[in-house]
Amino acid sequence: MVSLETAFVIRRNTQDPTYWKEFRVSNADLDHLSNVLVEGEIPLPLNDLARTLTTFRCEREEQRIRQELSKGSLYLPKNTYAPGDEIVFPMLEYAVGAVTGVREGKNPEYGAFHVIQVAFPHGKTREFAIDLADHPLNDALEVAAEEVASPQEIYQEYGKYVRTALEARLESEPGFIRLAGHWFLRDLLVDINAGHLNLAEAVLDMAGGGPLPTEDLVAHLDLSKEVKLQLAVFSLNYALQEDERFDEVGPSGEVLWYLRRLQPFPVLNPPDRLRPRVVEYNHHLLDETMFNMERKLDDEWSELVAVPETNEPVKIVLTFPHRRSGTLPLSARLSRVFPTGRTHRIRFVFRDADTGEEMEGWVVRERRFAYGLLDWYERHDVPVGAYLEISCTDEPGVILIRRNAKRVRREWTRSVTVVDGQLSFAMSQFPLSCEVDDLMVIMSEDLSLIDAAVLHARERKMSLADLVRHLLPELSKLSPQGMVHAATVYSAVNLVMRVPPGPILATLVSDDQYTSLGDNYWVSRTRNLGF
């Protein structure tokens, strides 16, 4: 049978979406990328390598097509062929066949034409029409060439598949290393010796520990002038990363180094008061009103996800553990404001939105807090229960913080003292210099005295239920009706024990000594049992 199929149309695998969606990185691909890195002598980001690889695959296929087509004449219906001619058929996987005979064609639909017999390897023979000058298939090659997507267009459409496959392969290859989003060959790193690292330590020491960019450190090293700056920076970054004396503390997109021994002690050794107490509880005991309160409190260790808020500044109520530690919680809402990075500790700057005063700050994401406000809290007499507003700025690594300051005046408010290791609450007059949450404010002459109650509770191995049994009667005596809001209980519990709202609410619900009045208000039917 005579073939008039599109057997002559050049088939390109790289034009097939499936080719990219099922993309796999070959050894030849890695060899090509290695050569690119060797020739350029600079590390490259994944995006650049993936784009280079896409172009390589497309160009390699075009080269293969040219090689295949060079083996003979391209089959086109308009051409004339004679016995002995070698013809290439792209849609037959570039099979090459030899013309063994020619005869007249018989098909009124096409007019006068001829038919050639073509013998392929392995003894197979097929027939194809020739001398069809006006057949539209003759123009198909030109049309197909115009429709071929460029490597740039392909990458724009399917680059995410290439990046995913390439990243996974590079991570499994010990010869490739990644730093700050850039990749390079391990064997091509500049030699950074112990002397260089000691010098880098000295430079950071003179800068108060840091932070300094790698470029500033490289400038003090006696490296060959022939070494490109990008390669020197990358090599030093790798060496610093492998040395426990140094910490990379820059936010995303910025590499900054700091001496670990000069970082604030609470950053490297988070305070125990910020460590949450693990309390198992039945989530089904809580109703929607309680869930809404927990979301509003936005505790960083809550098992609920707070309602997303995109508006800044983010407003929070300061709790005792963070007031005492000079920290802020990296809660579901607030964590979005602070810088992210590649390491556990990120250095940034707090700026007082009212005065412009700046303080060194640290994000410790693994422990869900930001440190650096203890002096600021003390200087402005910021109490437990104060409202704070936090927002980011256009300056990378700068966070604005504002207390809702007001004219100082003495007001009656909830206060706490420690008697024989136990918390005792009263209504007292204290000077207030900022707005506070009436449900959560707790004043004290000296917050450090509360540490005695914490120690007492630990020695007694007090449970959450025991602590609530002591606190609720103590707090209820401050109200004529004897009722206490759950948010007040939460604030008081966290004076002694770091517990998110969920377990506290479940304790109130499950213990028949407490009665709910609705709207998260509770009363106690027991006397003060003490610790």
pLDDT tens, residue by residue, 341-355: 778 899 999 999 999
pLDDT at 358: 95
pLDDT for the residue 141: 53
Q: Are strands 86-89 and 73-74 parallel, antiparallel or unpaired?
A: parallel
SS3 per-residue string spanning 287-332: CHHHHHHHHHHCCCCCCCCCCCCCCCCEEEECCHHHHHHCEEECCC
**What's the confidence (pLDDT) of residue 77?**
80
Structure tokens at 87: 């013809």
Cβ pair 229, 215 in contact under 8 A: yes
Write out pLDDT tens, residues 395-444.
888 999 999 888 989 999 999 988 888 888 999 999 999 999 999 999 99
Task: Report domain extents, the chain.
Answer: 1-178, 189-263, 308-406, 409-524
The pLDDT assigned to 310 comes to 61
Superfamily of domain 308-406 in the CATH hierarchy: DNA-binding pseudobarrel domain (2.40.330.10)
Per residue in 461-519, pLDDT (tens digit) is: 889 999 999 999 989 999 988 899 999 999 999 999 999 999 999 999 999 889 999 99
- The structure tokens 């991570």 sit at 171
Record the tokens describing residue 442, joined without a space: 């707790």
Question: Three-state SS for 366?
Answer: helix
pLDDT given for residue 9 in this prediction: 54
d(CA 299, CA 334): 10
pTM for the full model? 0.73
What's the confidence (pLDDT) of residue 4?
45
Low-confidence ranges of the chain (pLDDT < 50): 1-8, 142-143, 527-531
Helices (H), 409-476: 450-459, 464-476
Question: What is the rounded distance in angstroms from the CA atom of residue 306 to the CA atom of residue 308?
Answer: 6
CATH number attached to the domain at 189-263: 1.10.10.10
